[in-house]
Chain A
Amino acid sequence: RKEVEQDPGPFNVPEGATVAFNCTYSNSASQSFFWYRQDCRKEPKLLMSVYSSGNEDGRFTAQLNRASQYISLLIRDSKLSDSATYLCVVNSDQAGTALIFGKGTTLSVSS
């Protein structure tokens, strides 16, 4: 079983749409959770951390369910510039330094 699993997509949506990405992780000892964004042929960039209580940053909302080992990312009012690959990332051990990446979910927003 892969450590971090995501639906690879692609998700093709029109501008203004709401889209949700899901992710599951296998290591119940994982402590930190993130969503990264990666543009084509670029390095990943931190989009947001994910907290147990859920957190929101503008049009982006992240949720964590530790019992189900499930993480989600909701994007509202999609923009063309949101087109990218979204990576679900968890830490690999208690120290919280080494990151485990999912394969990513590709989003394409069209006008």
Chain B
Amino acid sequence: GAVVSQHPSWVICKSGTSVKIECRSLDFQATTMFWYRQFPKQSLMLMATSNEGSKATYEQGVEKDKFLINHASLTLSTLTVTSAHPEDSSFYICSATSRGTSGSTDTQYFGPGTRLTVL
């Protein structure tokens, strides 16, 4: 099946610093990538939808100036958490869609996630 990678898999940083997370589709071209966040014992919450070459669409309540998303190519999307604070500590997961055949639902493949801890 299709493979999506994320880097780094975990990161610990000081409050106020910025952290960049990369999401790559390794063996397919992803027309759309999604960024999710999951707090302990909570469901995955969609943060933003990212289409290659265009601005990301952010979900209500997600600050676009704080969570910068760049989708420069069909295989790479990045999420930068700017001026991170302890409340940003979470599990960040990306996913990428591989366009299905006509009439079928796009399949969504998940990266392994990045665990961010802000001290």
Residues of A within 8 A of B (CB): 4, 31-32, 41-45, 49, 87, 91-92, 96-104
> Contact: B49 with A44, CB < 8 Å?
no
> Contact: A43 with B43, CB < 8 Å?
no
Apart from A44-B44, A100-B46, list 19 A-B contacts with CB within 8 A.
A31-B105, A32-B105, A41-B113, A42-B113, A43-B113, A44-B93, A44-B110, A49-B105, A91-B105, A96-B105, A97-B32, A97-B49, A97-B97, A99-B34, A101-B36, A101-B43, A102-B43, A103-B42, A104-B43
Complex Cα–Cα for A100 and B43 (A): 9
Check if B64 is an interface residue, CB within 8 A of chain A.
Answer: no
Complex Cα–Cα for A101 and B45 (A): 7
The size class of the interface chain B forms with chain A is 20 to 34
> Contact: B110 with A45, CB < 8 Å?
yes
Task: List, in ascending order, chain A residues with CB within 8 A of B105's CB.
Answer: 31-32, 49, 91, 96
Complex Cα–Cα for A87 and B105 (A): 19
Task: List, in ascending order, chain A residues with CB within 8 A of B46's CB.
Answer: 92, 98-100
Residues of B within 8 A of A (CB): 32, 34, 36, 41-46, 49, 91, 93, 95, 97, 105-106, 108, 110-113, 115
Min CB–CB distance B64 → chain A (angstroms): 17
> Contact: B111 with A87, CB < 8 Å?
no
Task: Select which of B44, B45, B106, B113 is within 8 A of A97 by beta carbon.
Answer: B106
Complex Cα–Cα for A4 and B34 (A): 19
> Contact: A98 with B49, CB < 8 Å?
yes
